[in-house]
Every structure is written in C-alpha cells, then in structure tokens.
Amino acid sequence: MRSISKKVPYRDLTYTQNVLTNAQLVQLKCIIATSFSNVEAEHYFALYFEKGESTKRRLRLFLSGGDIVGYCLLTFDDSNKDVCIVGASAAFLPDFRGKNSTFRFSLIEVLKRYIRNPRRKLLYADTMLSPAMFRAMAKNIAEVYPNNLPQNSAIATLYDTINPSGLVSPHNGLRCLKAVGRKTNYSEAEIARFRESSKTEIALYCSVNPDFDKGIALVVIIPISLTQFILTLKKILSSRVSGVLGRG
C-alpha cells in the first residue's frame, strides 16, 4: 500500500467538455465509483461536471504515474441574478486520501473569482458527506455554518432559502441536512473513528449530522467576502504560530 502521507503531483485546469481524454474520463468516473456507494458514476459525473450552462468549473487533478488518483472540482453557478453559488466535489482513491489537501486550491480559486468581480456576491453552499472534508474547511475558514456558536435568525432564514426541502437537525434546529442517497465509502472502522473523534470540527459534524453514513449530507454555507478572507488569513497564521510555539 502507498503511504497516504505522500503528496502527489497535480494539474490545474478550467474544465470544459472535451478537455480530458477518454482514458482520463474513465479514471475520474472510477474514482467516483470507488469513493461513493449508492451512486451511479455517470449520473454523478454529469451532475457535477456537465450540468448548467451558466456554471464555470475549475479542476485540480492529482496524478501518480500519469494516472488520476484524486480530484477537486469547484463549480461557480451564475444562474441566480443575486448571487453566484460556489459548490465543490472531491474524491481520492483510498491509498491517496489524507494529506493531499484541497483547501488551498479551493481558497485560491475562490479568491481569484472574487478579485475579478468583487461586486458579485459569492456564497459557498454545498452538501458534505465527509466529516474530514468539513474539518478541512472549518478548521481554516473564519466563518462557516453550521458552527458551535448560537445560531441567529438570519442563518436560519438562509438555510430555509437554500435548502427548502431539507431536513432540520435536532442538534441546532437548522434546516442544514439533505438526503442525497449516496454515501461516502468509509469502512465501519473509519465511521467509528469519526464518531469517537475529539477533534472539534469532526465532533460537531457528527453531532449535527449523525446519519452521515446513511445517505444524509450536511449542507455547509460559507459567506465569501473581503472580511472573510482577512479573518481566514488571520486564523491560518494564528494556527501556524501556535503550532510552532507548541513544538518549541
């Protein structure tokens, strides 16, 4: 087995139809099929990679020996006149899960989009089936919902607007859950480790969405603004300083 701590090379591109070879498309769909259960790879691929004429896509491919072993896809949906909705999909083959972080890629791509059109409102709103992916976002980004803070009426209204047919979490009273049917292909041991984790973000995820292993996803909302970028940068720098001092 390959070490999951080893980072692999990557390639960034703007995804459009016909930008990848047939062999690369087969590899991507294989990763999707391997990473999720109760999902038809062709349908999932069409939903995230091809649906929506007003959607722009940025894609990072993780490569090993010339083969695709993981990906991170960001979608920018401009079909709403009031706001551009940012979504994401990411998956890796089992041996490459762990240290091949998608956070920096996502942050940089969203920042570039914001700088190009600062007057266009941006809002990340997407479903997450993975406690690990939620932690990757929540531990670095300053303002993420849901969180451990008291929830105000504005956030509740936002969830009702974005996820009107969703499920209400008894943990926080927000309509922040969505039945998606598909499941992340975690082993029983991995699911148990998530449920027993003392890491703040993972514990929060499991409390808000205890049925993540049964096809229920957490709807994560991240407001995107200049203030968000500044506070996120401060949070990242503070975390790094704390880490250095902790090793001293």
Q: What is the pLDDT of residues 141-200, one digit of tens each?
A: 999 999 998 878 899 999 999 999 999 999 999 999 999 888 888 889 999 999 999 999
Q: pTM to 2 decimals?
A: 0.82
For residue 67, tell me if it sits in a domain: yes
Residues 33 and 80 occupy one common structural domain: yes
pLDDT computed for residue 53 by the predictor: 84
Neighbours of 244 (CB within 10 A): 9
Reported confidence tier of residue 6, pLDDT bands at 50, 70, 90? low
Q: Is pLDDT above 90 for 242?
A: no
Residue 93 and residue 31 in contact, taking contact as beta carbons nearer than 8 Å = yes
Over residues 2-24, mean pLDDT: 82
Residue-number span of the structural domain to which 169 is assigned: 121-248
For residue 1, tell me if it sits in a domain: no
Residues 112 and 87 occupy one common structural domain: yes
For residue 231, tell me if it sits in a domain: yes
The identity of residue 88, as a single letter, is A
Q: Output the CA angle 219-222-223, nearest 5 degrees.
A: 135
Contacts of residue 185, Cβ cutoff 8 Å, sequence gap at least 6: 34, 35, 36, 37
Residues 111 and 19 occupy one common structural domain: yes
Half-sphere exposure of 31 (CA within 13 A, CB side): 24
For residue 4, tell me if it sits in a domain: no
Residues 125 and 240 occupy one common structural domain: yes
For residue 137, tell me if it sits in a domain: yes
Residues 75 and 155 occupy one common structural domain: no
For residue 20, tell me if it sits in a domain: yes
Over residues 222-243, mean pLDDT: 84
Residues 150 and 237 occupy one common structural domain: yes
Residues 191 and 219 occupy one common structural domain: yes
Over residues 114-130, mean pLDDT: 91
Q: Which of 92, 120, 148 represents a domain boundary (last residue)?
A: 120
In this predicted model, what pLDDT tens digit does every residue of 60-81 receive, in sequence order?
Answer: 999 999 899 999 999 999 998 8
d(CA 35, CA 185): 5
Q: Which of 102, 120, 138 represents a domain boundary (last residue)?
A: 120
For residue 69, tell me if it sits in a domain: yes
Residues 32 and 111 occupy one common structural domain: yes
Residues 173 and 69 occupy one common structural domain: no
For residue 2, tell me if it sits in a domain: no
DSSP 95: G
pLDDT computed for residue 99 by the predictor: 61
Over residues 76-89, mean pLDDT: 91
CA pseudo-torsion sign 61, 65, 66, 67: negative
The identity of residue 195, as a single letter, is R
d(CA 83, CA 113): 13
pLDDT computed for residue 2 by the predictor: 42
Over residues 35-42, mean pLDDT: 86
119-132 core/surface letters (b: 16 or more CB in 10 A; e: else)? eeebbbbbbbbbbb
Instruction: Provide the domain count of the chain.
Output: 2
Average pLDDT, the chain: 89
| Chain centre distance of CA 210 | 18
The identity of residue 240, as a single letter, is R
pLDDT computed for residue 5 by the predictor: 45
Residues 90 and 176 occupy one common structural domain: no
Q: Where are the beta strands (DSSP E) in 4-105?
A: 10-14, 36-37, 55-64, 67-77, 84-92
Residues 102 and 166 occupy one common structural domain: no
Q: Is pLDDT above 50 for 3?
A: no
Residue 48 and residue 40 in contact, taking contact as beta carbons nearer than 8 Å = no
Looking at residue 66, which CATH number applies to its domain?
3.40.630
pLDDT computed for residue 100 by the predictor: 57
Residues 178 and 91 occupy one common structural domain: no
Per DSSP, helices labelled H in the chain are 22-35, 41-45, 103-116, 131-138, 153-162, 188-196, 200-208, 226-247
The identity of residue 16, as a single letter, is T
Reported confidence tier of residue 4, pLDDT bands at 50, 70, 90? very low
Q: Which of 70, 100, 120 represents a domain boundary (last residue)?
A: 120
